[in-house]
């Protein structure tokens, strides 16, 4: 199941009202801890600046606020109007900007770090997405990616049962939506495994790329540094 960018945007517009609830259920309540770790990997300091790409309903961007303190700046970018409305209802401290992850409306080196949570999987060109994030981050700053990934072989059958069977069912029950929660397992299967994703980040020009699997391995956190 492959979708065009306009179809992806419409899908996220449609599922916005149930998005946060579905996230909590699908991650068994672990998504908050994953985002907190992603923020730590961004290496931000008080007074710093960060951009969260594909920000959705804004939870990762809002978490970044704590790291940069009230003197800092956080921007959340997404192309779904409904998602941005939901994000704006949660915080007025973040600058919410409608834009395309593949053509970020910001200058080179404008931020100390960029994050993306469960977003790059939806991009038609993942390497270009990382290049854009690297472009808007200053030399020495980090690009951090939190994403679903193909789990290790031992865990894979259970994870598959969850994403292929339970998630579409929960999507029908909680979000009254079938297509979006069928698209999710399909998009995970298409997505490069964690070591290949690290290679894509290096191809995009990032240095010192490292990654860590979280919660049994169905989620991976990657980070790379923008070279001088």
Ligand X SMILES: C[S@@+](CC[C@H](N)C(=O)[O-])C[C@H]1O[C@@H](n2cnc3c(N)ncnc32)[C@H](O)[C@@H]1O
Among 26, 55, 113, 221, binds ligand X (CB under 6 A): 55
Angstrom distance (rounded) from CA 128 to CA 123: 9
The nearer residue to ligand X, 117 or 151, going by C-beta atoms, is 117
Please state the length of the chain.
Answer: 228
**Binding of residue 143 to ligand X (CB under 6 A):** no
- Answer yes or no whether residue 177 interacts with ligand X by CB under 6 A: no
Whether the Cβ atoms of residue 156 and residue 193 lie closer than 8 Å to each other: no
Beta-bridge partners for 137: 111
**What CA–CA distances, in Å, run from 61 to 64, 111, 165?**
5, 13, 30
CB of 42 to ligand X, least distance (A): 14
Which of 49, 80, 149, 187 touches ligand X by CB under 6 A? 80
Which one, of 111, 99, 104, lies nearest residue 128 by Cα? 104
Residue 81 CB neighbours (<10 A) = 13
Q: List 111's β-bridge partners, or say none.
A: 137
Cβ closer to ligand X: 86 or 194? Answer: 86
54 binds ligand X (CB under 6 A): yes
Least distance in angstroms from the C-beta of 228 to ligand X? 28
| Distance, CA of 52 to CA of 144 (rounded, Å) | 9
Give the helix ranges, DSSP H, for 126-178: 126-136, 156-160, 167-170
Binding ligand X by CB under 6 A: which of 41, 79, 191, 211?
Answer: 79
According to CB under 6 A, which residues from 92 to 131 bind ligand X?
100-102, 117-119, 122-123
Nearer to ligand X, 14 or 202 (CB): 14
Q: Least distance from C-beta 33 to ligand X, angstroms?
A: 13
Q: Could you list the residues that contact ligand X (CB under 6 A)?
A: 5, 8-9, 12, 23, 54-56, 59-60, 78-80, 83, 100-102, 117-119, 122-123
């Amino acid at each position: 199941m492959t979708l065009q960018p306009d179809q992806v945007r419409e899908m996220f517009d449609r599922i916005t009202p149930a998005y946060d609830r579905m996230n909590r259920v699908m991650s068994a309540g672990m998504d908050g801890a994953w985002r907190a770790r992603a923020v730590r990997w961004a290496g931000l300091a008080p007074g710093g600046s960060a951009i969260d790409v594909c920000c959705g309903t804004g939870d990762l961007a809002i978490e970044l606020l704590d790291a940069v303190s009230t003197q800092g700046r956080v921007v959340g970018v997404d192309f779904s109007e409904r998602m941005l409305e939901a994000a704006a209802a949660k915080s007025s401290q973040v600058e919410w900007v409608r834009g395309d992850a593949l053509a970020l409306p910001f200058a080179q080196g404008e931020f100390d770090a960029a994050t993306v949570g469960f977003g790059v999987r939806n991009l038609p060109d993942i390497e270009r997405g990382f290049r854009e994030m690297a472009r808007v981050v200053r030399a020495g700053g980090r690009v951090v990616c939190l994403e679903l990934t193909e789990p290790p072989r031992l865990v894979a059958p259970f994870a598959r049962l969850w994403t292929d069977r339970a998630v579409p069912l929960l999507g029908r029950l909680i979000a009254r939506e079938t297509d979006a929660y069928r698209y999710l397992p399909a998009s995970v299967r298409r997505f490069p495994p964690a070591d290949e994703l690290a290679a894509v980040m290096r191809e995009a020009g990032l240095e010192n790329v490292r990654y860590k699997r979280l919660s049994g391995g169905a989620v991976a956190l990657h980070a790379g540094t923008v070279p001088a």
